[in-house]
Structure 1
């Protein structure tokens, strides 16, 4: 049997390099460059490895532009605001004469528009009493203020007289407190005018000239957290409900106003934590 020279050489000299070449065909050279294979050796060419063809990513479909359904006035106002802010920012960063003038012209236009709105709103208020804020609450005219204050005083005085049938005033004081001495005559006159009973409570166990008869503090000052005198509380003995009126020296009008405020319908819901329930029986 005839053996080609390349095969004979391969069988006779099994060198480690040949084994490595067979085991690792990755880096094989063409057969015509290998003398041991011979010129007559034939090998099929290795197939060309092409990179995998990746599918093209699907292009997101452009969403149809939604039509702005807002009122055209809202769109115009938003554009005006944006343009004014842009002009201002440009003028701040580049305060050239043209940039500043452009911003000031647009700002003047906005001010004129706001002034026109104010004029129209005022005319509407004059023609619509329920929208006129000068007719709601305390008036602004001096003559009207006099009438308003007189009516308020009469109404509160009547309410205080009715309230005196079921409520009393707790007056916390100290005999060495100058503010308590200054406030005592006012509280005494208030009691005489509206018929409300004042219960003087001495924190230090001594009285005042206007209130020689008093009660010693039996712990109620601590219960009500009285940390400063003079202090006035409105109490309803039958229910044990006690509400603070104020601390320090108060005028008669302040007493009347504050009592009317804390006894108004629904007043407890505003600041419920300050109203306390104490057994006064």
Structure 2
């Protein structure tokens, strides 16, 4: 019994020693008892782990968006069409695919439309631009054309009568020339219509039938040779003062052609004025080139920078052109 109690105490003692040892090692309550009432102190705060600072992100290299390509425009003007139409035509001929033919045909239509637009605008402009009215040269309407023809016929009669006062015709012929017999009635018609004086010059000393009303001389002084007459009939217009001679026909020559050449020769010889000559023409000459040398002078700077400048100076040259069937009104005389 004694032994049992002793064993139990010994065992308890070992247990208490083991527990105290364990407590002093693991708990500050027992290990710090020398500090007195230390358990009222706040337990030390363990520092929290500072979070790692995030490193600033390295900005990615800026990638510039690709610049949008500007759509290139082509001006489809006349210069472009002139260069491209032959190219497209050649492509369509060499390779007549539907696409090539369509491209050529529609481009050609586009060119025609441009031309048509220009023609329309030009006609509209000319409707109200009297200086460019082509009917001043020769009327287009039947009403005005009849008046024009009557005025021209009267002018021819008056002008040739004026020419006849300063000139006459030479008619070189031979009696055995069949063509001279055919030419004679035309010369007589000039005499009847305009009182034109005709001098017949016989190359063989004889006369033609029906020459009673025409003065005839025989060429005994080689006049024909001096004027280079080789064929009959040949006609000259000779000024009465001997200052000028113009061949107006060699061989059979029609009445209108002789008439035109007489008028032109008279103008060139200053027998009539330019104005008189124009009155006898079937188409009037209305020209901006009124200077004798056929040139004009213009301001170099204005002609380059002012689009209206050239048109105005040319318009001024045509301002005095007289329309057909019109009379110039003189405000001073009232006529």
TM-score relative to the length of structure 2:
0.53
For 1:200, the equivalent position in structure 2 comes to 200
* Alpha-carbon shift at residue 153 of structure 1 (Å): 1.4
For 2:162, the equivalent position in structure 1 comes to 162
For 1:46, the equivalent position in structure 2 comes to none
For 1:101, the equivalent position in structure 2 comes to 102
Q: Deviations over 1:250-276 (max 9, x none)?
A: 4444333321122225889xxxxxxxx
Question: Contact conserved, 1:174 with 1:204, CA < 8 A, in 2?
Answer: yes
For 1:214, the equivalent position in structure 2 comes to 216
User: Tell me, what secondary structure is at the counterpart of 2:106?
Assistant: helix
Question: Which whole-Å CA distance do the structure 2 matches of 1:107 and 1:238 have between them?
Answer: 65
| Structure 2: gaps spanning 5 or more residues | 1-73, 272-335
Correspondences of 1:1-281 after superposition (within 5 Å): 76-133=77-134, 135-211=135-211, 213-217=215-219, 218-264=221-267
* Alpha-carbon shift at residue 181 of structure 1 (Å): 0.8
Which structure is higher in RCO with an 8 Å CA cutoff and minimum separation 6? 2
Question: Which whole-Å CA distance do the structure 2 matches of 1:96 and 1:161 have between them?
Answer: 72
User: Tell me, what secondary structure is at the counterpart of 1:233?
Assistant: strand
Q: Deviations over 1:63-110 (max 9, x none)?
A: xxxxxxxxx98x932122111121112223323333222111101110
Q: 1:206 to 1:96 in 2, by over 3 A?
A: farther
Question: Contact conserved, 1:157 with 1:256, CA < 8 A, in 2?
Answer: no
Question: Contact conserved, 1:234 with 1:245, CA < 8 A, in 2?
Answer: yes
Q: 1:111 to 1:227 in 2, by over 3 A?
A: farther
Q: Deviations over 1:173-205 (max 9, x none)?
A: 222222211221221232133222111112233
* Alpha-carbon shift at residue 120 of structure 1 (Å): 0.9
Query: Cα RMSD over matched residues?
Result: 2.6
Greater displacement, 159-168 / 202-211: 202-211
Q: Deviations over 1:228-271 (max 9, x none)?
A: 32222111131430012123334444333321122225889xxx
Question: Contact conserved, 2:235 with 2:247, CA < 8 A, in 1?
Answer: yes
Question: Which whole-Å CA distance do the structure 2 matches of 1:83 and 1:267 have between them?
Answer: 54
Q: Deviations over 1:108-139 (max 9, x none)?
A: 11011101111111111111111122x23222
Question: Which whole-Å CA distance do the structure 1 matches of 2:269 and 2:90 have between them?
Answer: 50
Question: Contact conserved, 1:261 with 1:267, CA < 8 A, in 2?
Answer: no
Question: Which whole-Å CA distance do the structure 1 matches of 2:226 and 2:253 have between them?
Answer: 23
Question: Which whole-Å CA distance do the structure 2 matches of 1:256 and 1:191 have between them?
Answer: 12
Greater displacement, 140-149 / 193-202: 140-149
Question: Post-superposition, which runs of at least 4 consecutive aligned residues in structure 1 deviate over 6 A?
Answer: none
Question: Which whole-Å CA distance do the structure 1 matches of 2:222 and 2:88 have between them?
Answer: 68
Provide the aligned length of Structure 1 versus Structure 2: 195
